Structure 1
């Protein structure tokens, strides 16, 4: 994670300069995970944004409201409005050197006088949270959790910070640093990105000036430029940096997401109609027995009957406008149509299910950090998505940029969309390479370029399959794995859909610190 304790320290300095001691005029919720506090300072408007969900969870200031929808009516936004509107922002501080910001508000109550309330913003990856406190008692939280073995965040209990065994560091003694991750493993506030950089560049961190920087290739960012490359963009403030990476890219994907949601509604409605037709067709299968019963009844087939009885003396109603022979013929005709219909309907239900899964996969791939939007658009266009396409250079080679990790001297590829999944599974792989995928959910194909999968390599690769899956918010995530030779393409389905034999399952917990350390080691190698 690019945001560490030192990043938070400089972010707080920026917030204090802009909005300290100002009155909260209004609080709005502009997205499912985004809350905005409105301030005014001598006619100038300031908006304090809280983004809760990954990627890029953060708090920052904008000078205009990015009003993407103010129709949320959750209990949490109701409590924020009730408890903080008209209050004054009295203080902003950091818990130790951690990724925790404490906003202290004072409100004047007619009965109780001055009341102090706190808003604790925890930037902790999958555990991001915004917590309302009064007298250190939890009033409400964006993410509530109960755990009988560690801290809980539920109303009416005493608030506790995340426990840590790391120490505070006020001065860096470079003579003690014997490993790239020495600082991040032992001291609060050091991300793996910063720890690795300081191992190679022994700078005076405490005198380094703030220079918000975005790596335009990888989309990584930090509060000063530690990227040894030219493809960077600098910003005047950290808030401008966050505004750029949070608002600008997301607007690019809204049309795609709306198209996917619209298609999912159509697909599910179509399947419901097909399932109704299948139910009726299966009922008509029984008409064969009625036809046989009529012929076996021994009655005159040219006579008309309102009903007959079967061999168990059960009443079978007939259409009295027709003769027995005509009733039998109509029963056999409906039966034969139903047999043909069942096959047709069943095939279409399967195709509809496949299309639904493809749309869900695309929805998931769009949610990943830095998705390859061009490759995703290609697949969406094949499903009817309309987009203004740029003129294609036919001489340009169609290259695929893959997310690649190197762990224990082994290359691991991660597909971030169906095109990449198809490529690494069917074109880049060798039959003895190993393949991993989350069990029962959308996710990336992970290819390990090795025929020897040690326990350590297996667990790391499985963590990647878990991280790049729709189940990445779970604590325990099941991952299926096998060798490429045990996979087969399924005829009639797109290439990333495979059948799998002779596979095993491993359950993993994602270790973001380990994954990030491998990423940073590769970047700064």
Structure 2
């Protein structure tokens, strides 16, 4: 599920329960569009991830340790200067949209109290994290000029303006007001009308409300009854009620990766396996951790398969060429017979002749042998023997190359099979290291730092009921 208004609503409640009156102890920027704040209250430290990633923008508590750059980026240094030891006085959602504001009471260089706002806008590729003082932008993790947005600039010194909001806040509307708004689109499907009319609704949550109200997928606004309108309004308020426990993950049958997360059990996933987490943040973090791991796995598997397919294509072409060369070399072995026949018939051959017609005693038939008229018959025989010896040496080399090429093809096909069968990124790392070690892949030209030594792959050890030890290994 996208990080919609419902998720923001519940994550804000979770943040408020834990962070109000806490102080900002540390600020890190592990990625160009991600921040990690460490808050401290009552001797308890809690880390919060702020992400303006265009793929997975989000905000939640985090327990994952992220690697920070040796030199902090400029925006991170500014935040440290302005917000370190600042007191969180309020956290709120703007309307029912995906915008969160943190009110922070801090001190300036003269130790005067100053009120700052840290604004998190979770809006896909337009996501941003903005520091504001007295409604003036101090800076942001993404600077937006007029070339990128004609509606508003997000630059230091510019007044802060909310992103354009063209939807209504259903949390502040009565059932009749809601009905009036969506009734203006009588031919539109109910779920799409809810999604396009009200803040914070993803398409999935629009479908969820409809399913809870027993409204068919194909139903249009004009088909709704009074009871349906009342139910939509009521279910919306049910979904935003405060919850004691946090979040849920939803899995397809026999699948280890969650397909979605939500702050509550969803009817649209009634046929899925659900896993309850202690907090919504835990559910969100596990979902994106698995999603990132799955994406990394797919990217690595795809890159390895592409490299191996390229190698295989070369080897298949090489194999065909070698087979053609082998056929030619085998035909060239007849040059020895030509030499033997010429030497056996030297007495009857004419000088400066372009061909010799002799009896082939190997196959008991007449044969015509091409000759170089500038050379004597004995020199022609000598040249045929040289061609024969050259072809014989070439045949030995070709057969050796054929053997190596076939072995390499078998190896690459077995590696492809291993990639197809594995579902663990550690196995892909082992395969990659093996390909680099055998010079089939180039080593990445990155940092000159000493590479971490890869742990030696060891077989799995199993014990049978009768006490025997089984070792299960893998190779290509």
**Matches of 1:254 and 1:72, distance apart in 2:** 26
> In structure 2, what is the equivalent of residue 235 of structure 1?
277
Relative to structure 1, the CA distance from residue 224 to residue 259 in structure 2 (aligned partners, 3 Å threshold; closer, same or farther) is closer
> In structure 1, what is the equivalent of residue 212 of structure 2?
201
Relative to structure 1, the CA distance from residue 117 to residue 379 in structure 2 (aligned partners, 3 Å threshold; closer, same or farther) is closer
**Matches of 1:253 and 1:181, distance apart in 2:** 29
> In structure 2, what is the equivalent of residue 67 of structure 1?
66
SS at match of 1:225: coil
Relative to structure 1, the CA distance from residue 256 to residue 81 in structure 2 (aligned partners, 3 Å threshold; closer, same or farther) is farther
> In structure 2, what is the equivalent of residue 215 of structure 1?
250
Q: Contact 1:9 / 1:97 at 8 angstroms: preserved in 2?
A: yes
Q: Which runs of 5+ in 1 are unaligned?
A: 263-371, 392-525
Deviations 1:476-521 (A, max 9, x none): xxxxxxxxxxxxxxxxxxxxxxxxxxxxxxxxxxxxxxxxxxxxxx
Q: Are residues 1:30 and 2:65 paired?
A: no
1:249 CA displacement: 5.3
**Matches of 2:194 and 2:297, distance apart in 1:** 43
Deviations 1:294-343 (A, max 9, x none): xxxxxxxxxxxxxxxxxxxxxxxxxxxxxxxxxxxxxxxxxxxxxxxxxx
**Matches of 1:73 and 1:256, distance apart in 2:** 31
**Matches of 2:45 and 2:163, distance apart in 1:** 34
> In structure 2, what is the equivalent of residue 384 of structure 1?
435
User: Which is worse superposed, 180-189 or 106-115?
Assistant: 106-115
1:30 CA displacement: 2.8
1:106 CA displacement: 0.7
SS at match of 2:435: coil
> How do 1:115-130 residues align onto structure 2 when only pairs under 5 Å count?
115-130=114-129
**Matches of 1:251 and 1:72, distance apart in 2:** 26
> How do 1:49-198 residues align onto structure 2 when only pairs under 5 Å count?
49-62=49-62, 64=63, 66-109=65-108, 111=110, 113-147=112-146, 149-170=150-171, 171-172=174-175, 179-198=190-209
Q: Contact 1:29 / 1:35 at 8 angstroms: preserved in 2?
A: yes
Q: Contact 2:29 / 2:68 at 8 angstroms: preserved in 1?
A: yes
> In structure 2, what is the equivalent of residue 11 of structure 1?
11
> In structure 2, what is the equivalent of residue 444 of structure 1?
none
SS at match of 2:11: helix
**Which of 1 and 2 has greater Rg?**
2
Deviations 1:189-237 (A, max 9, x none): 2111111211222262323454522223462222212122232222121
Q: Are residues 1:225 and 2:265 paired?
A: yes
Relative to structure 1, the CA distance from residue 251 to residue 190 in structure 2 (aligned partners, 3 Å threshold; closer, same or farther) is closer
1:259 CA displacement: 11
**Matches of 1:192 and 1:228, distance apart in 2:** 17
**Matches of 1:104 and 1:71, distance apart in 2:** 29
**Matches of 1:165 and 1:390, distance apart in 2:** 60
SS at match of 1:145: coil
**Matches of 1:82 and 1:160, distance apart in 2:** 24
1:258 CA displacement: 9.2
